[in-house]
C-alpha cells in the first residue's frame, strides 16, 4: 500500500494519512509506504509487487471527501481526476508510463480522495479527514481479502 501526497499542502496529505492509519493494521508481509516526491518514484516502489493499493488526493470537481476507487490494472486513469497534482508528472502519467514499459502490477487499485483545499497548511479539512478513514478501511478490507486467498 502506498500513500502519496504532500504534508504541507492541506488535503494533499490525504494519501499519506491513509498510509499512516494502515501502518500496523495490515499483515506483516504487506509493505506500507509513503511517497512525497515525484509520482515516478512509484514505479520503483511497486516493482515486483503482484498487488498494490495507492491512496492520493484528487481534484475532479466532485464534493470534498468523495472517494473514487479506480482499477488501474484494467483501465487508464482519467487524467482529469488528477489534474491538480502538486507534481509536474502526476499519478495518472506515472501509471500510464508503467503500463507502457510493462512495469504495472497485475492488480493496481487507486483510491482518490476528493480534496477541498490544496494550499499551504498542515491540517486536513473535515470532509477529507472523514474520507481518509473510509479509504483506510476499504483498503484494509481489500488487502485482507486478497492476502487471505493465498
- What are 34-61's pLDDT values in tens digits? 998 777 788 889 988 999 999 999 998 9
Domain count, the chain: 1
- DSSP class of residue 40 equals T
Do 4 and 41 form a contact (C-beta atoms < 8 A)? no
CA atoms within 13 A on the CB side of 47: 6
Any idea which of 83-87, 97-101, 131-135 has the lowest mean pLDDT? 83-87
Provide the grid cell at 125: 479539512
pLDDT of 141 higher than 70: yes
Whether the pLDDT of residue 20 is over 60: the answer is yes
Say if residue 88's pLDDT is above 60. no
Cell of 120: 499551504
Maximum mean pLDDT: which of 26-30, 119-123, 124-128: 124-128
C-alpha cell of 83? 489534474
Query: Helix 14-22 vs helix 126-148: angle between axes, to the nearest 10 degrees?
Result: 50
Residue-number span of the structural domain to which 26 is assigned: 2-148
Domain with 31 in it: what CATH number?
3.40.50.1450
Distances (CA, A) of 54 to 111, 119, 120, 128, 138: 6, 22, 23, 16, 12
Q: With H, G, I as helix, E, B as strand and everything else as coil, classify residue 116.
A: coil
For residues 84 and 38, the model is more confident at 38
pLDDT of residue 83: 54
Say if residue 93's pLDDT is above 90. Answer: no
Amino acid at each position: 500500500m502506498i500513500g502519496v501526497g504532500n504534508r504541507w499542502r492541506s488535503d494533499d496529505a490525504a494519501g499519506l494519512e491513509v498510509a499512516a492509519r494502515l501502518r500496523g493494521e495490515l499483515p506483516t508481509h504487506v509493505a506500507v509506504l509513503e511517497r512525497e516526491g515525484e509520482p515516478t518514484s512509484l514505479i520503483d516502489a511497486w516493482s515486483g509487487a503482484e498487488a498494490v493499493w495507492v491512496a492520493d488526493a484528487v481534484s475532479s470537481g466532485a464534493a470534498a471527501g468523495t472517494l473514487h476507487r479506480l482499477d488501474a490494472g484494467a483501465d487508464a486513469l482519467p487524467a482529469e481526476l488528477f489534474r491538480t497534482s502538486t507534481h509536474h508528472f502526476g499519478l495518472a502519467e506515472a501509471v500510464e508510463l508503467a503500463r507502457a514499459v510493462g512495469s504495472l502490477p497485475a492488480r493496481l487499485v487507486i483510491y482518490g480522495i476528493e480534496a477541498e483545499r490544496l494550499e499551504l497548511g498542515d491540517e486536513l479539512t473535515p470532509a477529507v479527514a472523514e474520507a481518509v478513514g473510509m479509504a483506510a478501511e476499504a483498503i484494509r478490507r481489500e488487502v485482507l481479502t486478497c492476502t487471505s486467498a493465498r
